[in-house]
Structure 1
């Protein structure tokens, strides 16, 4: 972690202040802003850079009643009581060495005589003034006229922007701050540097801000440090008690309908709170709502309310709100939460409905709290079902299973049996990886559930399990049957859409699936927000596989906005979507931090299987940047999720291994692994994955793929297979012009890394034909694309960037030598004899004019593997 809080430079404001001090028409500046926004820090930074010594007067509430209290240190000891004599004494001391810079901190607290002295210096221009004033505070007229009459230039200092806040916090933490956590911290601090520091330090002390896999995450409510609480409490001590009462009510329930707040506190109290800028009134459609003007005010006021008082106040709010009978999910959740912490008892039905709302909105922690309260009260299957789902989503399968194990399936009716069986099968399948046990639970359900309205829920779960077992044709058929069932319940449709979304894009039916999503999710109604988010992941996957990368990126951004502070799992899924799109574009420098944050957000007691797709993308990204060691590490971590329950991803594991081999200089091995991935994908009906794996093999130099790729054009929807086939044909014929043309089309499609590889292969082809001008043009294009991708690396790019007078096989062996492998290791890697490797090393050394392996490695190393420091 970083060592401390450093000044975050504000160069624009700094220059404005410095320029104003040099202006002959003004006597200085007054910097206004909220408490803690950084006025004094900026002012002292500017004055310290000026010639001569600045004289700083710090005003306080206690000094404001003392004549010349702010400038007392410059008043010579005297028995005189004449204010004029005191002014002269202070003025002579301040200006004894000629014009000076007079700094006044918190000038709104100046006593009248000090304000008069400052006004004289400004009017006579005998010194430069830098004053700070806290906005919202009364200012003496003699000070206010200084900027109103133009003697001082007023500069308003705004809070930090979100980016500035993140920069400052990350410099202190010494690592990456999760984007979702950054949003919360920025929102709670309001961009105020002082508030920001107190929030972060308090969260670190409380343990709610911690590091997970190199990413700092805030989990739980922000806290207020004692120092900040004292600072803010001082403001409330001087406020109208009736206004503080309004603040107390809003601190427990915000926002509140204005009519409800009037009933609770009265109009005069609300007017007083609004006048003192403690609250604000906003119009939300036809409703007027009251909100606290700054989030931290509510935190501090809540600290001052005792447990008994808080329960009573919440009870009063509940009494008013329950008359309105909330009809929205947000209204039900708010009312249920208020009940839990009040002196009144909520109906179990409200708790269950609110828990269902929370799970539907992907807020698993809140769903758990509400469902657990209902379950502990009545222990019925409705609350048990919701509680188990909320626990499972948070990576706590043992707890989820324990809840369901309390019920005997023989005692359950068909509805209860589904509520019990589907979560239990899901826990066993995804969290424990026990396919046979999950299928046994499904078999039990099949034998007992016959209701045609309930049956689709069972079929949808079966479809999801079948897809993840990599039995795509069967899984898609089951999902489509549910999706076409006119009486299938909403939950069945969501689960079937999730199953189809994980399968159809891989099978080459991406256009079909985007139509399914549009049809199924026409409304915002949902039964499980996280299942819906996974179905949306399938939609982005479909858009990527059909070449609509711009639309995929837009959707990923939109879905990220769906998440809030309690919905970090949904946020993690959305970040995985964003990483997916960035990876396909070849923008690995963007993809890596995005995916790292997503994987850290998936952190749980029991590792969630939804990490696997992100890890495979991340391994691919590291390899694409020429960082195979990190790619290997990520792939090793991904191995915790293996077996039949995640067989769907087996071809993608081979794709990642192919790119790692390529990053290590093993072009032949990369081709073999790409072909193996394509074969595995073909056997299971993943035709889009097959096409991409074959495309990778062609990028690694395989010249025998044209016919096979052409056969996939009719099986995979979208324009990409045709582009892949054109590229493969150009590689097979070593046609530089055709490779240039397909590179341009790859770039138009947004596949920048593929475009760079095609251009690099074009450069090599032009070189072989001694077409020097075309070679330079292709090479220039390659380097431009490599730069736009953030420095990607591949065998074709490395060869184009530094052509050597060696054969492709000799270059491959030389790159493995540079990677530190022995001849025996290289022979095993390439499936050849050690003698053959020695021959390649010998000939490569002769051609390059070096005497041994060390010299060969020294020449090759700049083109080969680089670590993260490069």
Structure 2
């Protein structure tokens, strides 16, 4: 017996059981209880009886006997849908069939109804096992949507569907269909996203809103008030409607009322009721409703910033005259709550209504939204208007040039032309903070650290400028390898971000550079802890904020080796970036990470696409991104079979990083080169390890030196070191290299153990397919053979390989033949399979 609420999927599940039984060759019958047939004796079985019913009792015996006879001819499965609607005799037949044990039954029953006693007895007397079908969970909702759409849906959209439908599968199916049909659900960067209002169709209205079709005027007002703002205190509602109307609405299950502390709170009985009413009501009527509600809420003190934002939005969308101070305050609160799009609406309304500080708030909000050109226009307007604090506005304009427009040289010129004669100490500190950003972006790490430290120590910075200084300092400390100093900076920055409207959204901005600094210094656990803290402080965040958060969560997963989860999160982040037309550093940074994730999974084409996108949007002035771009490009090349080119790319980047005095950037390049088999960086890696007090540096040096010496035990120690730092993906690569080294040294048992470790780590990371994990350990390949095998795995033909390597096709065929001999492959296809299996192919 399958029991559950309407729409949770009882009938679908029962039908699936019968369909599988039919496929297995069993006989099936499908009986449906309906309201119309309930008045007839044996009404559910009318189609089986055929003749008019005069005396029902013989027909009961006839029915039972006919089903028993079917059982003798083969196994029978009977489905009974909506058993709560069966008439007494039909229910009796079902009960008797269950008692005979000659026919098997699948019965569905709606929860909360009063079925016939015979149906209740089915599970009470243990004649049938009872399965209570619960509404879909968030994860199950997302899986169902992705199945319906045939693609990935972002977590925020899935959660929104789940909240609106209550996990009801029937409602969910229709709502998804409606949003796609109305163009509200769109495919962005390969991910389905739902933004904007709910599109309401007649189908969903008929399913959910039958009770709403015949509301009295008084009932309509109750529902409409809650459709605009819920939950609402009953005391507030009683000032706008009669208490009796509330009681009637609760009795009709239009609303629910629950006690919260010393207050009674009302909300709609189903989330979709509000959407249906908003779609049906006229805008002028709803404007009046919002106005009445805003005026009533204004009589009481707002409980918190969310209450102020809620009241301000009601007033903004009502027939009331604009309140400039309320809009300005709501804009700041909305920024604190990470809803920058709503903050822009409030700030624009406040400026139009004459609030004196509104333009400045709007300029800062536009900057944080990534709308650099618009922010530049507003800031220029402020400057031309002769507003007080010209030097501060210049620093804000310079920050916009650096981070949103990618014009670092223009920003430096603007700061240089700011008049020191008119600067206050606070102005000078703000200018120094922004100059630190110029230095950090331009890869002048020593100068950036010095200026940012001085600006923070002044104690004169606004929250916005303090966050800028923290960003610059974190970038510099990460590049210089001063990992121990990062924790203090991060603590202060995140504490500030949680409490200040100027800094609130910058938590993600800071988080991204802190995550990069943690990766450069091997601090995986610290990065994960920071991301978890940010996620806890930003639950249910709006669109752009979620894109930032998804990118950060993707970084954390990539650092600790859950590469497949990282790729999914990073695709969500890129979809959000695309949806909000972001052109800031978030776009290329996300593309770098996506390229690496896809490359590590062996998804060569996707890695290449990510790099092409990244190369289009990295500003020329962003020297600090060049190392990350080179490493991501290298991963893409390696995934596409061009390992030697990948090594050359990162070795060139390592040389540049050394010239710029970025030791951890250089170290990162040497690390990935070693993962791809390069042994030339061992000496330099040890020099960096001696200069930096970082476990990561020591692990890279151990890795490179052991690889150069073909030392399997040393490579296993390096693999263990990487694991200790949380980097399972690199540990898998190094363990695979150890397997090859052991095998070459005739240590077969140790080679098998290292290969098993590499396989275990690779599986834990989502199934890696890197150059190291594509190297068979049974008979190690020569350099040229390995190069050709990598290109074969990437899908190139012998002719394409010959053109790439500038050799004859016959030479390529010879190398392929000898590689097959070494690893025991009988064909090109088997060689590819063995290469993909890597060291584990020896087991």
**Which residue of structure 2 aligns with residue 473 of structure 1?**
446
> Does the CA contact (< 8 Å) of 1:365 and 1:566 recur in 2?
no
**2:386 aligned partner:** 412
Assess if the C-alpha contact under 8 Å between 1:74 and 1:89 holds in 2. Answer: no
Give the equivalent residue in structure 1 for 2:66.
97
2:182 maps to 1:213: no
Per the alignment, do residues 140 and 699 of structure 1 end up closer, same or farther by CA in structure 2, a change over 3 Å counting? closer
Which of 602, 610, 613 is 2:586 aligned to? 610
Contact preservation (8 Å) 1:498, 1:531: no
Residue 549 of structure 1: aligned partner: 524
Alignment counterpart, residue 424 of structure 2, candidates 439, 451, 459: 451
Whole-angstrom CA distance in 1 between matches of 2:429 and 2:263: 41
Q: Matches of 1:67 and 1:828 in 2, distance apart?
A: 81
Q: For the residues of structure 1 that align with 2:55 and 2:414, how far apart are their CA atoms?
A: 92
Q: Which residue of 1 aligns with 2:492?
A: 519
Partner of residue 164, structure 2:
188
- Is the CA contact (8 Å cut-off) linking 1:456 and 1:482 kept in structure 2? yes
* 1:632 counterpart (608, 622, 638): 608
Partner of 2:569: 594
1:302 matched to 2:271: no
- Could you tell me which residue of structure 2 aligns to residue 575 of structure 1? 550
**1:147–1:153 contact (8 Å) kept in structure 2:** yes
The separation in 2 between residues aligned to 1:390 and 1:669, in whole angstroms, is 43
What SS is found at the alignment partner of 1:762? helix
Q: Which residue of 1 aligns with 2:841?
A: none
Q: 1:724 to 1:196 in 2, by over 3 A?
A: same
Residues of 2 paired with 1:69 and 1:131: CA distance?
A: 17
- Residue 686 of structure 2 contacts residue 701 of structure 2 at CA under 8 Å; is this kept in 1? yes
Task: Quote the Cα distance in structure 2 between the aligned partners of 1:863 and 1:69.
Answer: 65
1:401–1:427: 8 Å Cα contact kept in structure 2?
yes
Give 1:596 deviation, angstroms. Answer: 1.6
Which of 681, 706, 721 is residue 657 of structure 2 equivalent to?
A: 681
Query: By how many angstroms is 1:568 displaced?
Result: 2.1
Any idea what SS the aligned residue of 1:386 has? Answer: helix
Deviation at residue 623 of structure 1 after TM alignment: 2.5
SS for the counterpart of 2:766 is coil
What RMSD over aligned residues (CA atoms) do the two structures have, in Å? 3.8
* Cα pair distance change 1:491/1:174, threshold 3 Å: same
Residue 187 of structure 1: CA displacement? 1.8
Number of the residue aligned with 2:840 = none
> In 1, are the aligned partners of 2:31 and 2:44 still within 8 Å (CA)?
no
The Cα of 1:729 is off from its aligned counterpart by: 2.6
Structure 2 length-normalised TM: 0.86
Range moving further from structure 2, 808-817 or 358-367: 808-817
Count of aligned pairs between the two proteins:
817
Report the CA distance between 1:847 and its aligned residue. 5.1
Contact 2:663 2:688 in 1 (8 A): yes
Q: Deviations over 1:67-111 (max 9, x none)?
A: 776666577776x9xxxx56447646754724587765445455x
Shift of 1:263: 3.4
Unaligned runs of 5+ in 2: 71-76, 838-843
Check the 8 A contact 2:643/2:790 in 1, yes or no: no
Task: Report what 1:559 is aligned to.
Answer: 534
1:653 corresponds to 2:629 = yes
C-alpha displacement of 1:607: 3.2
- The Cα of 1:489 is off from its aligned counterpart by 2.1
Matched, 1:370 2:341: no
Structure 1, residues 685-727: CA drift from partner, whole Å, max 9, x if none?
3322221212223333443434432333365454211111222
Deviates more, 1:626-635 or 1:185-194: 626-635
Shift of 1:189: 1.5
- CA spacing shift, 1:493–1:391, aligned 2, 3 Å: closer
Q: Distance in 1 between matches of 2:222 and 2:536?
A: 31
Relative distance call for 1:105 and 1:248 in structure 2 (3 A) is farther
CA separation in 2, counterparts of 1:716 and 1:753?
A: 23
Task: Describe the superposition over 1:661-689 as per-residue Cα deviations: whole angstroms up to 9, x where unpaired.
Answer: 43444554443333222222222333222
- What does the per-residue CA deviation read over 1:230-273, in whole Å, with 9 as the maximum and x for residues that have no partner? 23222345789766643332211012234323433454444444
* Secondary structure of the corresponding residue to residue 484 of structure 1: helix
User: Could you give the per-residue CA deviations for residues 438-481 of structure 1, whole angstroms, max 9, x where no partner exists?
Assistant: 33443455558623345444433333333222222222222222
How many angstroms apart in 2 are the aligned matches of 1:802 and 1:368? 63
Instruction: Check conservation: 2:44, 2:90, Cα contact below 8 A.
Output: no
Task: Select the residue among 12, 32, 37 that pairs with 2:8.
Answer: 37
CA apart distance, 1:172: 1.7
* 1:508/1:715 contact within 8 Å kept: no
> 1:361, 1:528 within 8 Å by CA — same for their partners in 2?
no
Distance change in 2, residues 1:798/1:376 (3 Å): same
Residues 291-326 of structure 1: CA deviation (Å, up to 9, x unaligned): 333211221233343333322322222122112232
**Aligned counterpart for 2:764 among listed residues 773, 783, 788:** 788
Question: Contact 2:785/2:816 (CA < 8 Å) preserved in 1?
Answer: no
Helix, strand or coil at the partner of 1:488? coil
Tell me the secondary structure at the aligned position of residue 192 of structure 2. strand
Distance, in Å, in 2 between the alignment partners of 1:810 and 1:63 is: 76
Out of 425, 430, 442, which is 2:415 matched to? 442
Question: CA separation in 1, counterparts of 2:225 and 2:633?
Answer: 58
Alignment of 1:175 with 2:146, yes or no, is no
Cα separation, 2, equivalents of 1:70 and 1:317: 51
Question: What SS is found at the alignment partner of 2:621?
Answer: helix
| Distance in 2 between residues matched to 1:86 and 1:276, nearest whole Å | 40
Q: Name the CA distance, whole Å, in 1 between partners of 2:207 and 2:812.
A: 72
SS in structure 2 at match of 1:54: strand
Name the counterpart of 1:5. none
Displacement of 1:759 in angstroms is 2.3
Equivalent residue of 1:210, what SS?
strand
> For 1:32, what is the secondary structure of its paired residue?
strand
Following superposition, the deviation at residue 275 of structure 1 comes to: 4.4
Q: How does 1:441-840 map to 2 (within 5 A)?
A: 441-443=414-416, 445=418, 450-522=423-495, 524-526=498-500, 527-563=502-538, 567-603=542-578, 604-605=580-581, 607-713=583-689, 715-716=691-692, 718-801=694-777, 803-804=779-780, 807-809=782-784, 811-812=786-787, 815=790, 820=796
The answer to whether the 8 A contact 2:3-2:131 is kept is yes
What CA distance in whole angstroms lies between the structure 2 residues aligned with 1:216 and 1:134?
33
- Paired with 2:759 and 2:417, the residues of 1 have a C-alpha distance of 60
Report the Cα offset of residue 142 of structure 1.
Answer: 7.4
Distance 1:259 1:757, change over 3 A: same
Q: In structure 1, what is the Cα distance between the partners aligned to 2:196 and 2:789?
A: 53
1:116-135 equivalences in 2 (<5 Å): 116-119=89-92, 122=95, 125=99, 131-135=107-111
Secondary structure, aligned partner of 2:6: coil
What is the distance in 1 between the residues matched to 2:48 and 2:834? 69
Superimposed CA distance per residue, residues 768-808 of structure 1 (whole angstroms, 9 cap, x where no aligned partner): 3323332332233233333333332444433344534x533
Cross-structure match for 1:197: 173
600-609 or 259-268: bigger deviation: 259-268
| C-alpha contact 1:469 1:647 (8 A) present in aligned 2 | yes
- CA displacement at 1:179 relative to structure 2: 1.6
